[in-house]
Structure 1
Amino acid sequence: MNSIPNYLIYEILSRLSAKSVARCPCVSKEWRSILARQDFTELFLTRSKARPRLLIGVRQQDGDQCSFYTTPQPQDPYEKPSLVVTADFHIKLSKGISQYNCSYASGLIYYSIRSKDEDEKRVICNPLTGQYVILPELRVGHSYSYTMFSYLMFDPIDKEFKVLFMNLNRYTAYNYVDHYILTLGSGKLRWRKIQCPFTHELFEGRICINGVLYYSAEHSDSDGRRSCVLVCFDVRSEKFKFIGARNCHYQLINYKGKLCEINVEYAYDGRFPPKLSMWVLEDVEKPEWSKYVYSLDVESKVASYLYVSGMTATGDIVLLMDNTSNPFYVFYFNPERKTLQIVEILGIGSNRVCTFVDYVEDLSVNVALQNKSSPLQERRNIVTEKLKTQQRRHTSHDLCKFAPSVKNKQHNKYESLANMLYRSAGLAILFFVLFGFFFVFFSYIIRL
């Protein structure tokens, strides 16, 4: 194995899934050293970006549990106009998830959990691997009339995740109230106080693009006149400012690195086809906007009322229905080519959904979560279900289901069985990787 060039090892390991890579350091110190290198992390991310996926969160109709699935995104613009794919299930989050404090940034999900017997917990989770971190408790001493909005953000320069906690009174952020921010980085996790220099009322639209968090709001000037604005929060400098917006109620998406306000418009009688209205922010400083309107050639029997999920790196605008149905469709519309691909997704049932485009596996995300997990309370489940092939002993970084307490003898018996299964899985991975090594190595020798 020592005769195999390092670049071949890199090539093989970079083609594995993030879950398999997470187990490979157990094989040897040499592998552990290779997988810890920054150039391998960057190579793995490059490979992963070549196969982006659609991340789907499904909220159950009869409760507040949320399951996560992924499906491949169409990459060939000349593929069939209609495709059928099966969703891959990953994890199911526990009950009590707030539908308001839930956001996504660069591969991580941020949400809060509230139950009758426990205080609210704020969690950042990798929806594919199950790694998580519970944020420190934050108590804000005020009455029930207040509401709180939180946002997960990512700074691409310092490569840091941050959480902004907005302390609101009836959806209004006042300039004299303390808000809070937390950095998911080295050192102890702690909330820091921060203030916004202007008062504004928040709306639902929000997105983080290139290290800037944008969200829709209304602002009153010195004469009391209210106007629609976009609040811009620089994640790195942690400074607020605002610019004029076109509409407070439009959705916000990343349009080729630019902010875009977008809306699906129907005729008053609900006739098809609907129109897609877009306002693209060309210049943030001026600000300067460009407007585009497109007609969506979809049939009413296929698509009821649609909303926009986002835009892929290949330029496809992703649209879907508010609720899953059987069958459930996702629409990929490319405004430059005027093409529309309809993808039927199987295996996610009939519930409310939210989706995130261009999901890629990034090993640096797992590093950000390592050594940051807080111990959970006994029998407190954050993830209630995972794929059976992923089940193993619980660690402080893995969201596995807690087992009920048993007698010591039974516990030792089950622990031994778990160890045997874990070693068997490790041997299977080792066999698979060694087979790949020798296959590539002999191919390399033959070419010489």
Structure 2
Amino acid sequence: MTRSPLKPHQKKLLRKVESRVCLKRKERDGDKDDESDKRPSKLLHSIPLDLEVEIMTRLPVKSLMRSRCVSKTWSSIIRSQGFVDAYYAMSSSTTRSRFTVAFSNSVFVKGDAQRLFIFSSSSLAANLHMTIPSLSLSHVSDCPSVHGFVGCCYGFQFTICNPSTGQVVSLPCKGNRTSLGYDPVDGQFKALSLVPTPVRGYHICVVHEVIKLGGGGGGESRNMVTSPPYSPLTNRLCINGFIYFGAWAPRPRMNPVIVCFDVRHEKISFIKMPKDVLSYSVLIEYKGKLASVVRHQPLSFRSFDLWILEDVKKGVWSKQTFDLPCDLVNMTSPGTNKAGEIIFAPTKLSHGAQPFYIFYYNTQTKDLRRVRIHGIADDEGFRRRYGLVSDCNVSVSPEHVEMNSTGFSAYLETESTKELDTGVRNKRKKKKMSSSSMALRDMQRDLEAKANDLAKIQKEIAKNHQLRKKYTIQLGENELVLKLDLLEDDANVYKLIGPVLVKQDLAEANANVRKRMEYISAELKRIDATLQDNEGQQNSKREAVSHPSHRLYADLNAFQHGY
């Protein structure tokens, strides 16, 4: 990673830190030479701790991982969430964009011969960081980078890796469309898996599996989330704690929407959008906002529309149209760089050892420039060594940031070690419960939640009945007071205020009583309306408790009957 250059005094302090590392190595090897250890030990305590942290935020990830072995203090600092956030901010502030390029050896290669290659680059040359076996990349899937981690879905298997450290883990999923999300508030990674249901020849999504990664002591937890029916269409994109993707609701070619998954609260909502936004579209992040690049032709970029979501709550979109100076065939748009230029990248590797190009389009100057990235399967030796043949799908992810090891990375370390041990892996498989028992647990949790909601509504109904009884008694008492009209005009009227009787005017007393009765009558009407609404909710909750999956089947039946 390219980082800002160190100043002379920082270089001097960095050399002191290196001497500290050498000292620890000598102590570990049993070097007892006091004269050689005495001088570095003085330097050991001469660097302020905050300056040590500042220096470590500028180190590459691999050097940072080795620095964890220096001392327990350094290890705890590097693993702390505060340092992780500072390191991410330093990595994100670099002037040059870093991106990842992932591709498979071929869609025709099966089994253990499959390979997924992940390259990373911040300049004109890319470096091969990882080669993951038994994993491929289909033409509809991608490998986006989310907060320094890359996720790839292949069938019902979701693979997460850290290209900077080489950590990788694979998770079984209930759905074949799984994407990685990150909650910046709690610093939590979650995977959203779409569980499709075949209806009338279409794949309709109502149920979703949410996998919480690295939580609860470094393990994983799973939860089921439901939504109104929809048919997913576009790629999935994570922006500021939300996962977005385009879809038709409730079935194809009906209502275009953006499905929005809140990673933190695990809730799904829909955002309205114009129908043209979904046609031949790719979702990208444009200047911190969700945008859609819509090409005018299905297989090439010559002219395109840029739709930008200006207001998420109101669903307000803006549109700009651009014409490229040349035709870009078999290209897609993975996003933008730090300068705001729209990136166009190939979807497949070229046949033979051909150069790999990425295009950058400036929306202000209308200029299109081509940049060659060296090292992306552009020599015959690499292709022969890894058996690259035709139809090698490519996925480019811009704005990649190197991340050090923290809670989620520690989870990757643990899971990666388990995957290497066949005996442990078999033991884990035996401990997994069957799908029927998992569904039963999910249904039981759903039933308990609905029963709790019913109890809350019943408690609210009892409270309103007590309040209505109180107001009814007060209304009857005030109706008796209205008999003041029978008194003569010169009669004396007294009001009891505490222990004292205060004389009042007869007309004023009658007016106060009538106002009090009007207020009590209005409150009784409001309480009656609330009770009616609560009783309706109580009846619906009772039906839901009697049939735990009532809402899910109701949505599916409504879709099948065309409602």
TM-score, reference length from structure 1: 0.69
2:398 counterpart SS class? strand
For 1:337 and 1:15, the matched residues in 2 are separated by 35
Equivalent residue, structure 2, for 1:23: 66
Q: Is 2:171 the partner of 1:94?
A: no
2:376 counterpart SS class? coil
Q: Is 2:233 the partner of 1:203?
A: yes
Equivalent residue, structure 1, for 2:270: 242
Q: Which whole-Å deviations, capped at 9, do the CAs of 1:81-110 have from their partners, x for residues lacking one?
A: xxxx22111011112436366543222222
Counterparts in 2 of 1:363-378, with a 5 A limit?
A: 363=404, 366-371=406-411, 373-374=414-415, 375-376=418-419, 378=421
Aligned identity (percent) is 30
For 1:230 and 1:168, the matched residues in 2 are separated by 17
2:75 counterpart SS class? helix
Q: Is 2:159 the partner of 1:123?
A: yes
Instruction: Write the letter of the residue equivalent to 1:167.
Output: V
1:296 counterpart SS class? strand
Q: Is 2:100 the partner of 1:72?
A: no
Q: Which whole-Å deviations, capped at 9, do the CAs of 1:10-35 have from their partners, x for residues lacking one?
A: 34322221111011111223432443
For 2:137 and 2:393, the matched residues in 1 are separated by 14
Contact 2:137–2:394 (CA<8 Å) still a contact in 1? no
For 2:129 and 2:242, the matched residues in 1 are separated by 30
For 1:225 and 1:68, the matched residues in 2 are separated by 36
For 1:330 and 1:199, the matched residues in 2 are separated by 38
Structure 1 unaligned blocks of 5 or more: 74-84, 115-119, 141-146, 381-448
For the aligned residues, what is the CA RMSD?
A: 2.9
Q: Is 2:257 the partner of 1:226?
A: no
Instruction: Write the letter of the residue equivalent to 2:243.
Output: L
Q: Is 2:72 the partner of 1:43?
A: no
Q: Which whole-Å deviations, capped at 9, do the CAs of 1:266-324 have from their partners, x for residues lacking one?
A: 599x7xx81231111111222111111122234x5xx5442211112331211122223
Q: Which whole-Å deviations, capped at 9, do the CAs of 1:422-441 have from their partners, x for residues lacking one?
A: xxxxxxxxxxxxxxxxxxxx
Displacement after TM superposition at 1:225 (Å):
7.9
Q: Is 2:320 the partner of 1:320?
A: no
Equivalent residue, structure 1, for 2:99: 54
Change in Cα spacing, 1:69 to 1:377, as seen in structure 2 (3 Å) is closer
Structure 2 unaligned blocks of 5 or more: 1-42, 379-391, 424-563
Decide which of 162, 178, 181 is 2:210's aligned counterpart. Answer: 181
For 1:356 and 1:23, the matched residues in 2 are separated by 27
Equivalent residue, structure 2, for 1:403: none
Change in Cα spacing, 1:283 to 1:296, as seen in structure 2 (3 Å) is same
Decide which of 292, 299, 304 is 1:261's aligned counterpart. Answer: 292
35-44 vs 283-292, which moves further = 35-44
Q: Which whole-Å deviations, capped at 9, do the CAs of 1:361-394 have from their partners, x for residues lacking one?
A: 1226x431214533116579xxxxxxxxxxxxxx
Q: Which whole-Å deviations, capped at 9, do the CAs of 1:341-380 have from their partners, x for residues lacking one?
A: 321011112643111111011226x431214533116579
Higher relative helix content: 2
1:346 counterpart SS class? coil
Higher relative strand content: 1
Query: Which structure has the larger Rg?
Result: 2
Change in Cα spacing, 1:96 to 1:205, as seen in structure 2 (3 Å) is closer
Displacement after TM superposition at 1:132 (Å):
2.8
Counterparts in 2 of 1:42-441, with a 5 A limit?
A: 42-49=85-92, 50=94, 51-61=96-106, 63=109, 64-72=114-122, 85-97=124-136, 99=138, 103-104=143-144, 105-112=146-153, 121-135=157-171, 137=172, 148-170=176-198, 172-175=203-206, 178-187=207-216, 188-196=219-227, 198-220=228-250, 226-246=254-274, 247-248=277-278, 249-265=280-296, 274-298=302-326, 303-325=328-350, 326-349=354-377, 351-363=392-404, 366-371=406-411, 373-374=414-415, 375-376=418-419, 378=421
Give the aligned length.
344
Instruction: Write the letter of the residue equivalent to 1:359.
Output: H
Change in Cα spacing, 1:348 to 1:38, as seen in structure 2 (3 Å) is same
Greater relative contact order (Cα < 8 A, sep 6+): 1
